[in-house]
Structures are given as structure tokens and as C-alpha cells.
Amino acid sequence: MTPVIPAVTAFFDPRTFSLQYVAACPRTKRCAIIDPVLDFDEKSGSTGTANADAILAFVAREGLTVEWILDTHPHADHFSAARYLQEKTGAPTAIGEKVVEVQKLWAGIYNWPSLPVDGSQWDKLFADGETLRVGEVEGHVLFSPGHTLASVTYVLGDAAFVHDTLFMPDSGTARADFPGGSAVDLWRSIQRILALPDTTRLFTGHDYQPGGREPRWESTVAEQKAGNTHLTKARSEAEFVAIRSARDRTLAMPKLILSALQINIRGGRLPEPENNGRRYLKIPMDALRGAARDGQAAP
């Protein structure tokens, strides 16, 4: 039987340079939403649902039924809209099972002893190699840590959603200096992804538009092997770790990391309103010492 190829539609958020996806089965009209963004303006503290609502409008226009809401990892640069979309669609939410390790790590950083660190904020925690289906599209999960402790790649038919592991070939690879990150693990995860068939379509989690070009998000395994700007310079694990580590030392932390993680380790749930009806974020001071500051080093 011929494998079913998913139709993939991307939604680019220019504010966070994030890619969100709808992967749909053309036979059954069932789909998965991957890495949706909940809008947040750090200057005013305001939230919004424009990105998520655009996805919902597309789903309705195409006559799709949402079967899964998938996050590849707890994001550091945008809030997850998984909870909001679940409220709108009733679809189950999922993430990789190692999210519990990220929860434990960040519960300590936030001094948050009451946080459940069992992954119960999601309906499903996927293990490495576990299978899933979107309609008649067959898929599986690749545990791909390095950028975070919990990162996974969703392989659906001939499409792999590689989150913040590989960017477009002209942008290289993701940073590995967040708490729990590892350049060694990142290299090994990339090798697993590049072991997929050369024709596998790879969909990245961000595009920072080098040189001011238009956003791009789709490549193939063959294109990454031939032209990824980091991988063509590093032919061994040791060379890659040296290049990645040197690069990471120049990078400031994402502006939303301390805000986003306390939302995203709870499956996209916002803080509960306090007695005045307002929600509050808790920002730990001096928790991420050693990172470059904005304006201090090259971006």
C-alpha cells in the first residue's frame, strides 16, 4: 500500500521568527497542529491569540478535524498555544516524555515546589520510537535532545518536524546552551535525523531570515547534508561541539525565556488569576548568569 503523504501548511510568526504547522491527511481530512504560538507582548504584558486563530480559521476553511496538538519541546522564545487550541478543538495535547526532566529543572529555577513535574499537563507523553497516526498518515517520534532535554522530532509520512535542531541550510543548527542543553547531544540528534531517507522533508521551528531574505522553512535531508553551514564545516562530533559552543558563547538569551518557560512547562497554561483578577509572571533574577547580554556580543 502506498504511504499517505501529509499536506503541510506553515504559519510564520515574524515577531518570534517561529514556524507553526498544520500537517493534514489528504484522505481523511484529519490533522495535527505542531508548535502553535500564543501571542505575548513583553513590553505591555498583553497576550493574544492572533496566531492561533489564524490556524483555527485555516482548519475550518479546509474542513479539517484536529487530531493532535503537538509541541516538540518547551519553547524558550514564545508561549505555546496548545492549551488555548485544546479548549477550542477538544484535541489531545502531546509532547516528549522527557519533559518531566525539564519541569524538574525549571521548578528549581523558579523555586516552584508546588509544580507537578510528572507531565500531567499534557494528554500524551511520547517515548522515543513510539508510533502515532494522523488520519491515515503513519508516523513515529524521534527523541532528539541537545537544544533542550525534552526535544522530539515528529516524523509523519515523508515529513519530519525537526523543531530547533536544524535550521535552514544557510542558518545552520540550533543553540545548545540553555539549561539542560548539550552540543554533544545535539550532534547525535542531528545524525539520527540525517539518517532518514534523503528525500524526507524537514520542517524547522524557526527562520531568522539571514540577509533579510524571505522566510523559509522546508528543506530535505539531502539538502541539509550538502549545504548546512555548520555541518559542512564540522565533519566530526568534536568539530561540531567546538563550533557550536563558540557560537553559543556569543548569543544573548531569548528575551522571553524566563517568561515562556513558566507557561510552557505547564502545557501552555497561563498563571491563575490572583484576587484582583490579574495574572502574574515570576521572573527569577540572576538565574542564567554567564550568557552574553544584548549589545555585548554578536547576535
Does the 7-264 domain belong in CATH 3.60.15.10? yes
Average model confidence (pLDDT) for the chain?
Answer: 96
Q: What is the mean pLDDT of residues 270-295?
A: 90
Interacting residues of 101 by C-beta distance below 8 A, sequence separation 6+: 149, 150, 180
**What pLDDT shows up at residue 121?**
98
299: confidence class by pLDDT, cuts 50, 70, 90:
very low
pLDDT tens, residue by residue, 46-93: 999 999 999 999 999 999 999 999 999 999 999 999 999 999 999 999
**What pLDDT shows up at residue 290?**
80
**What pLDDT shows up at residue 22?**
98
Q: Among positive and negative, which fits the CA dihedral 84, 90, 91, 97?
A: positive
Decide which of 289 and 208 is more confident. Answer: 208
Answer yes or no: are the C-beta atoms of 68 and 24 closer than 8 Å.
no
Whether residue 2 has pLDDT greater than 90: no
The burial class, CB within 10 Å (0-12 / 13-18 / 19+), for 299 is exposed
Specify the 3-state DSSP secondary structure of 284. Answer: coil
* Sheet containing 30-34, strands listed edge to edge, beginning at the edge strand earlier in sequence: 7-13, 18-24, 30-34, 65-70, 93-96, 124-126
pLDDT tens, residue by residue, 149-165: 999 999 999 999 999 99
Domain ranges of the chain: 7-264
pLDDT tens, residue by residue, 220-271: 999 999 999 999 999 899 999 999 999 999 999 999 999 999 999 999 999 9
- Please state, as a whole number, how many other Cβ atoms lie within 10 Å of the Cβ of residue 224: 24
38: confidence class by pLDDT, cuts 50, 70, 90:
very high
**What pLDDT shows up at residue 298?**
33
Q: What is the mean pLDDT of residues 95-110?
A: 98
| Residue 37: C-alpha distances to residues 84, 196, 271, 283 (Å) | 10, 28, 17, 21
Q: Which residue has the cell 508548535?
A: 35
